[in-house]
Amino acid sequence: MRKLKVFISSVQNEFADERTELARYLRQDPLLGTFFEPFIFEEVPANTHSPGKVYLDEVKESDIYVGLLGAKYGFEDEMGVSPTEREYDQAKAEHIPRWIFIKDIVGADRHPKEIALIRKIEHDVSRKKFSNLDLLKKEVYNSAVLYLKQTGKIESHDFDDSLHPSADIQSLDENKVKEFVILARNKRNFPLKETASVDQVLKHLRMIKNGKLVNSALLAFATDPQLFFPSATIKCAHFHGIQVQKPIPDYKEFGGTVFEVADEAVNFVLSKISLSTGTREKSNQVETIYEIPRAVISEAIINAVAHRDYYSKGSIQVSIFRDRIEVTNPGSLPPELDINDLKEPHSSYPHNPLLAGCMFLTGEIERYGTGTLEMFKLTEERGLKPPLIALDEGFKVTIWRPSAEATHDAEHDTIHDGEHDNIHDVSELFSEIVELTHRLVLVLKGEMSRPQLMEILELRNRPHFATNYLEPALKEGLIEMTLPDKSTSKNQKYRLTIKGVDLKEKLERKIQK
């Protein structure tokens, strides 16, 4: 078996010990030594070729690129570029997997060009930090084992395909399974009927083996998934400014199945962002749309749920700031992709294939490998800045709100307070309508059914709509039922009361100013 060549790149005099020890470690470790053969320039015999040519030729012939970054930038050629950066660029051009390790620097400043190189790399691939040789070896080992698993060189089971040691079919909610079947039949012509048993559905989805459940079955259908996976939640926080700052105006942590947590998180974001006021040019009703397309928010959150690392103890985090929304999950890109690939048509390599398959069947995921493309397309159509994807201690998507600066140099995408103090005034386009009942009043025209109202407000969850919009509006006397004696009738509709009409007129005058 041919060993995989690992090119170790760094400023040589800064990482002399680390380079030598890392090469020795890769050769001597019982597992890593079976699959990998390191290359360091110190071991190359003297020859007549220029060092630069040797560097790049060796990178081209390598299978893995390992980059060690510290305080120094290193020797600069006539173009002002160091060998380390040349080697990284070559590895990127050859689509070679790149493992980047950054040394924590205490009491010393990094060279400005080294800082720029780190920022450049973090927009492409994930990176890990280390403070000593032992931690470096640990991080390299983790990266190597993950690579071997992902490329099928050692046997591995994905998290969602692994058997849970204690759960059984009684841990699942039969109603949730039936609801899934109904939705999957409507969306994707799922072959089983809602009368199918839980066992039959699970077998079709490959979520049960010899009577034992795999983890994905619990994430999708358990009565209480967090009983088995406490970190399988989404933490949502709303901040009035542009940085994390206490006290937090609103914070919620959502649990439930993967479908439920995604739905709750999307609803949380929608309730915090502004609505467009529209005009009366096309109709008597003020057009109402969210400042960010719902599909963009949904894609970011559902991708995080479907592709996160469920072995991690970290939760998905959604943070809403004045100028942006950040969706962060404990995960990483597969070795076949880097960030730039996400902006072009690309194949799908789901981290949790069974879970992703379930979310595809319900329509949560529309088409494999198109989620990020759709986000870039929709934000461009709306005139928003393109989403920013970073692989810094996890996978983070930043969605820019209209209040973010319209033109922003890519190298300043890192958020700093002073860089965003001058926010464009978009009050003429969007209005912040905090009260959810007021949003309902604003869109209600004549007599409308619950499905019609949910469609306009782009809400998918009936209980959420009832609890946060419909029931409070009824209680406040802003709306009334057309069939008050038949509250559960399928023909039930809702209309504004006199109080509701007065409020709607006030809201429309306010947003038309």
Q: Is the model's pTM score more than 0.95?
A: no
Backbone φ and ψ for 14, nearest 5 degrees, come out as: -80, -35
Q: Which helix (H) or strand (E) holds 430?
A: strand 430-431
The pLDDT value given to residue 122:
81
Q: Mean pLDDT, to the nearest integer, of 342-369?
A: 77
Q: Picking from 116-125, 293-302, 486-495, which range would have the lowest pLDDT averaged per residue? A: 116-125
The pLDDT value given to residue 279:
44
CA pair distance 374, 155, nearest whole angstrom: 34
Between 246 and 396, the more confident residue is 396
Using the predicted structure, report yes or no on whether residue 445 has a pLDDT greater than 60: yes
Q: Which helix (H) or strand (E) holds 216?
A: helix 215-221
The pLDDT value given to residue 333:
72
Between 278 and 180, the more confident residue is 180
Please say whether the beta carbons of 447 and 497 come within 8 A.
Answer: no
The pLDDT value given to residue 243:
87
The pLDDT value given to residue 159:
84
- From first CA to last CA, the distance across the chain in angstroms is 73
H-helix segments, 222-328: 258-272, 294-307
Mean pLDDT for all residues in the chain: 85
Highest mean pLDDT among 62-66, 108-112, 287-291: 62-66
The pLDDT value given to residue 156:
62
Using the predicted structure, report yes or no on whether residue 284 has a pLDDT greater than 50: no
pLDDT-derived band at 197, boundaries 50, 70, 90: very high
From start to end of 108-193, where are the E strands?
Answer: 127-130
The pLDDT value given to residue 409:
40
> C-alpha angle with apex 351: 374 to 337, nearest 5 degrees?
60
Q: Mean pLDDT, to the nearest integer, of 204-225?
A: 94
Helix (H, G, I), strand (E, B) or coil at 299: helix
Q: CA 207 → CA 70, 401, 450, distances in Å?
A: 45, 39, 35
Using the predicted structure, report yes or no on whether residue 420 has a pLDDT greater than 90: no
Between 343 and 291, the more confident residue is 291
pLDDT > 70 in the chain, percent: 85
Q: Mean pLDDT, to the nearest integer, of 178-206?
A: 93
Using the predicted structure, report yes or no on whether residue 368 has a pLDDT greater than 70: no
Q: Mean pLDDT, to the nearest integer, of 421-431?
A: 44
The pLDDT value given to residue 283:
45
Using the predicted structure, report yes or no on whether residue 493 has a pLDDT greater than 50: yes
CA pair distance 291, 394, nearest whole angstrom: 27
